[in-house]
A and B are shown apart, each in its own frame.
Chain A
Amino acid sequence: MIAPILTGKLVRLDVLNAEEDLEQWAGWFRNGEFQRLLDDTPAALYTPAQIKEWLEKAPAGYTIFGIRTLCDDRLIGFVELSGFRWSARSAWVGIGIGLREFWGGGYGTEAMRLVCKYAFETVNLNRINLNVFEYNERAYRSYVKCGFKEEGRSRQAMLRDGKRWDVIYMGLLREEWQAVD
């Protein structure tokens, strides 16, 4: 037997069930701060049905997990792999913790470690890309803990509240992952 790779000490990665989960997902987007940490597009609101439709239209390979706590099986966020380049064996990762009380508690970091393990050890990728916004310091620290290295910055690429912020590019290579895991 092989050990289950989608389960950690605080959380596990699980399927998102359209009916029960998307209602909660839609609720996370009511939080403007969540949206500003997640995406550079103007904040938008979606119905569960719209989210479901969007997920069903996602391109081949797109993989999304719900993040659930081990202690009470609560859905607290999601993590996704997208933009696969099979020749370069790379993909993009994105994560969002929708419930504020789970920010800063190590839940996101563990979920990211689990999805990296999955990406390298099951999907057999060589490289994972991510973007993080300069003002999202908590996420930046979390990604560094997971082994991601900063690869540069799109300088002043975002305008928020009258100030310009960098978009930071980070990458994690398989060989680096093996060193930290």
Chain B
Amino acid sequence: MNYRPLFEDRDLRLASIDLEKDPKVIAGWTSDLTVARRLRSDEPVRPLAAHEVRKVLDEWVKEREKHDTYVFALRPRESDDLVGYYRIDSLTWVHGSASFELVIGKADDWAAYATAALELGLQFAFDELNMFRVKVRVEEFDARARSLYESANFYLEVRQRQALYEQGRYWDVLHYGMLRPEYSVYHQQMGVAA
């Protein structure tokens, strides 16, 4: 049996969502409408108040009980601050297929934690949920997310042309996918790098 730490890396840990404190922090990130879109798909997209974020998180925690979604707070190893969240959804158990979202609120935190968050998230999806494949949707203009997934050797699987409207023009939506054999290679490389 392999008992590698499931919920923590050197600098970052996956933690439970704090329904009292976290909504306010996440609401503060939603002036970035890319974050707001991840939380609520109804239109028009707009920044959300803490009580609205709370409602979304309540729903996710409920779905977790039905094993429809898994959501983790991302917190630094040595503090209770919230830097982001990682959520697995669209779980299709019969096919071993799922989607995930990785949201980190501040640019500095993205630089510090995104790689570790992805590594912990993928480990949970593949090793704990036994998924055969995962995918993530990225807006064409989200350069930092694209470079994160590309450097982790995700495969650019789908380009939905003109699927998003923002800043007065259409943008493509990209789907990046990773299969279990590809995860094994990635995991080995991450192990060597650490």
Contact = CB atoms under 8 A, between A and B. Distances in A.
A104 interface: no
Interface residues of B, number: 26
Interface string B125-156: 00000001101000000000000000000011
B161 A171 contact: yes
- Interface size on A, as a range, is 20 to 34
B165 A151 contact: no
Interface string B38-79: 000001110000000000000000000000000000000000
Contact of A87 (B43, B97, B157, B179): B43
A157 interface: yes
Given A154-B175, A156-B133, A157-B133, A173 B95 contact: no
A129 to B, nearest CB: 7
A154 B159 contact: no
Given A154-B177, A158-B95, A88 B163 contact: yes
Nearest to A175: B162
Contacts of A90: 162-163
Nearest to A90: B163
Interface string B84-122: 000000001011110000000000000000000000000
User: In the complex, which of the residues A86, A126, A129, A157 has the most CB atoms of chain B within 10 Å of its own CB atom?
Assistant: A157
A89 B164 CA distance: 9
B95 A40 contact: yes
Interface in A2-58: 40-42
Nearest to A167: B97
Given A85-B163, A126-B170, A152-B160, 18 more contacts: A41-B92, A86-B43, A87-B44, A88-B163, A88-B164, A90-B162, A129-B163, A151-B158, A151-B159, A152-B175, A154-B97, A154-B157, A154-B175, A155-B155, A157-B92, A169-B160, A171-B160, A171-B161
Closest 7 CB pairs of A and B: A152-B158, A88-B165, A169-B158, A87-B165, A157-B97, A159-B95, A152-B157
Interface of A: 40-42, 85-90, 126-127, 129, 151-159, 164, 169, 171, 173
Interface of B: 43-45, 92, 94-97, 132-133, 135, 155-165, 170, 175, 177, 179
